[in-house]
Structure 1
Amino acid sequence: MSQTETLVLEQQETQTQTLTLKFNDSASTSNPDQTPTADPKTPNLGDSTSSSEPRPEQTTTANVAVPIPDVGPQLRAVVEEFILKIGSDDEEVRTAARNDLRDFIEREDIAIATLLVMAKYAYEVKNTDLSDVFCQRVADLIKDKKVVEVREIFGIVNDFTPEEEEAVRDEHPWAYED
C-alpha cells in the first residue's frame, strides 16, 4: 500500500507546478529509508541536474499559503481575526467569531462583488466556516428577488430570445411571480 502526497514547487516567475510523490508503507530493498519517489506520470519539472535538492529558486512546501484578497483593510482585519478564532477548541469562541463576521458584513453593507471574491477565497483555502458566512450573505441578498433583480445584482445579460424567455416563464412560473 502506498501513500500519496502532493507537493507544490514554486519558481521565481511565480509559476506553480505540482509534483506527486508516493511513499511506500512497506520497507523495500530498493527504497529502504522510505524516501519518496516521483510519480512517473509527473512531468519533468526541472533541468537535467542529478541533485535531488530543490534548486535555490524553488521551495518545497506541503501547505501553500493563499493570501487574503485585497478587499479593504477593515474586512481583511475582521477575516484574519475570524480565521484565528475559528481554529479555537472553544465552541463559544468559534460561534462568537461567526457572529462577529456576519454582523460586520451586514453592518458595513459589503458589495456583492467583494462577497463573491471572499467566497471564492474561502473555497480555495477550504475554509468551510468562512465560506458558509459569505455564501449565506450572498443568499440573503438574492432571497425573494425577481429574476430581473438577480440578473442586475450579478450583472447577467439576458441572452434569451423572446421565445426562449417565454418557454422558461412557462416552465418555471414561480420564478416570475410578482
Structure 2
Amino acid sequence: MTGQGIQIVPVAHVVGGRVEPTDDYWGGTQAIIRIDGDRFPPQATQGLDEFSHLEIVFHFHLTDPSDLNLAARRPRDNPDWPEVGTFGHRNMRRFNWLGVSRCRLLKVDGLDLHVEDLDAVDGTPVIDIKPWFEEMGPRGEVRQPAWTGEMLGAYFAPHDRGGV
C-alpha cells in the first residue's frame, strides 16, 4: 500500500428524509437521491426501475473528525457489549467516513431516485449507487455475535414522523 490518497467526487446528494443522524428508528424514512444532472444524462438511470433495492455508498459528512477512535471500543459505549475494533463496527467513526446502506427503490423520476429506509440524512453526499443483485448477497452460512442483534433491534423500526 502506497498511502496515496484518492479523489472521490459525489455522484448525487440525499434530498429530504431525516435531517439528523440517530442510532435507531430509520424504518419508513423516505428521501430522494438526486443524481448530479450536470455530469449524468437522464439515461444514467435507465433500467434501474426494474430493481427493488439499491446499495448506496455515502460520506458521513456530519461526523466530528475528532471523534475518530481506531482502537477497540464498546458499540454505542454500552458496557454490556464487548470491545470491538474499528473494522468490527459499521458506525460512522471510520477512517474514510464512508457508509453503505441498502434501501428500497420506490420510484425513478429522471435523475431522482425515490427511496425508503436509507439511513443517510438530507444533504449527504452519495459516492456510488448500485442496484442490489441477490447473487451478490452473502454465500454460505451467515454468523454474527449476539450483541449486534441486541443493538440493531430497533434500527429499522418505524419512527415518529413528527418528532424524529
Q: TM-score, normalised by structure 2?
A: 0.20
Larger relative contact order (Cα-Cα within 8 Å, sequence gap ≥ 6):
2
Q: TM-score, normalised by structure 1?
A: 0.19
- The structure that is strand-richer by fraction is 2
